[in-house]
Amino acid sequence: MFNKDYINDTIAAQCSGMTQAGIGVIRISGKDAIDVADKIFLTGAGKKISEFPNNSIRHGFIYDIRKSLPEKTDEVMLSVMRGPHSYTGEDVVEVNCHGGFYITKKILEIIFSTGVRPAEPGEFTKRAFLNGRMDLSEAEAVMSLINSKNEDALKNSMDQLSGRLKSRIISLRKDILFETAYIESALDDPEHYDLTGYPEKLKEKVIVFSKAISDMKDSYDNGRIMQDGVRTAILGKPNAGKSSLLNNISGYDRAIVTDIAGTTRDSIEENVNFGKLQLRLIDTAGIRNADDTVEKIGVERAFEQADKADMIFFVLDSSVPIDENDKKIIEFIKDKNAVIILNKSDLPPVLDEKKIKEDLTNSFPVIKISSKTGEGIDELKELTEKFFEDPDHGLNDEIIITNARHKKELDQAYDSLQLVKKSIDDGMQEDFFSIDLMSAYEHLGYIIGEDVGEDLVDEIFSKFCMGK
């Protein structure tokens, strides 16, 4: 299916970030990798890398062989990893050079002058997949590992990279295939296989398979939270101190704060690390019946943001009494995830805390803070962390799906299994069962890269960063 000539050439790219740094890493992969390294590198004692054992690293010099008299270009460490036991499954050479823009670019140019081709984004990992070093779900885990912004996301990517999702999918596929094979054998050889009572047994198994798949499907929301952060909308009436809270949590003056009610007009987003969590914090316009057109739109947007959010920080100004605007918000958040924040704890309290708890039927945690002095922010942090550690909202599920492509295939596998169940309930012939069982089998296979087309593979790897 895949063009083998294509994988016969040798590629190279800078693997370290495109920034000034102590060390820059350039990777060369393909059948000529070691020959190329021999042409451009010598140790101080004049030895070539091909003379060195596998998985070793050597100190030496890169020479600019484009000059008539090769010229020392950089002092480097060079490592050699021969295929098939390398990242890509091919011969790989890595150059650790000095990490300046100019020097890494120059070494790459020397490498390209030998006929090596620049690697496309994700091409090293794509080769690892094509050479059977990892399945598609593991290759995708490499990308999410690089993109991880917090502890949970990192742990989950590492789990996926070590093949946890893959083993679950493989075992499910094996069980589904067994049933299909049984049906096919029974239809071919009715003398030795008896299908009496089989549909009922199959139905029980299909329910078990469906449950396993729906658990993975359900974890997708948590997966998104883990990967992109908890969408947290800060909601409250004008002047409650919403923008001050955003500024306090993000650690700098992100939003404009004034004592004029209606300062924030449009929603403002900021990604912050909040304890172990990553929050996508959204400051919104203060909720009130505004006459001003712009402010009105701002208020509508505030409610839209709160609707989409995983969590609402409802900010009340504890130095003034509750008013109609607060009541409107109390009504709005009733069936949502929210924390009630009594802000301005540094001022004499006016607001009746007991009354608020009653109004909210005690269903939300209430916390006192001061966005001005920072009092209570640590408690808010702990409370938010605890909320998302709770197994109900949990980031502790066994396997967590973070990839939209995986979710889509799981949806389709699940739907196919529901068709099997329906055919059983409708008393259809056994061969109907196997068609939909096989469809579920195929969709699960796409997750790990069984029988996926070249286009899809190109699409997936093109999302990777350079040098990976």
Ligand X SMILES: Nc1nc2c(ncn2[C@@H]2O[C@H](COP(=O)(O)OP(=O)(O)OP(=O)(O)O)[C@@H](O)[C@H]2O)c(=O)[nH]1
For 230, counting Cβ atoms within 10 Å of its Cβ (0-12 exposed, 13-18 middle, 19+ buried), the class is buried
Q: Among positive and negative, which fits the CA dihedral 205, 207, 213, 215?
A: negative
Would you say 203 and 424 are in contact if contact means Cβ atoms under 8 Å apart? yes
250 binds Mg ion (CB under 5 A): no
343 near Mg ion (CB under 5 A): no
264 is an interface residue for Mg ion by CB under 5 A:
yes
From Mg ion, ligand X, none, interface partner of 346 (C-beta below 5 to 8 A by class): ligand X
**Rounded distance between C-alpha atoms, residue 392 and residue 312, angstroms:** 17
Instruction: Choose one: 54-62, 256-264, 269-277, 348-356; the region binding ligand X (CB under 6 A).
Output: 256-264
Distance from C-alpha of 281 to C-alpha of 250, rounded to nearest angstrom? 9
If DSSP codes are grouped into helix, strand and coil, which group holds residue 83? Answer: coil
* Residue 241 site contact among ligand X, Mg ion, none (CB < 5 to 8 Å, cut-off depends on kind): ligand X
Q: Are 235 and 312 in contact (CB under 8 A)?
A: yes
**239-247, 333-341, 418-426, 434-442 -> range binding ligand X (CB under 6 A):** 239-247
| Binding map of ligand X across residues 320-359, x = CB under 6 A, - = no contact | -----------------------xx-xx------------
Give the nearest distance from C-beta 424 to ligand X in angstroms: 58
- The site that binds Mg ion (CB under 5 A) totals a number of residues, namely 4
Measured between alpha carbons, how far is 331 from 94 in angstroms, rounded to an integer?
61
Signed CA dihedral, 89, 95, 99, 103: sign only:
negative
Residue of closest CB approach to ligand X: 286
| By CB under 6 A, residue 286 contacts ligand X | yes
Per CB under 5 A, does 247 bind Mg ion? no
- Which is it for the CA torsion 382, 314, 218, 132, positive or negative? negative
Q: How many residues bind ligand X (CB under 6 A)?
A: 24
Which position among 43, 131, 263, 412 is part of the footprint of ligand X (CB under 6 A)? Answer: 263
Question: Is there binding between residue 305 and ligand X (CB under 6 A)?
Answer: no
CA 64 to chain centre: 41
Residues 218-237 binding ligand X (CB under 6 A) are 236
Place of tokens 């949590």: 249
Q: Which stretch binds ligand X (CB under 6 A): 61-69, 160-168, 189-197, 258-266?
A: 258-266
Beta bridge partners of 270: 281
Residue with tokens 């920034």: 19
Binding site for ligand X (CB under 6 A): 236, 238-244, 257-259, 261-264, 285-286, 343-344, 346-347, 370-372
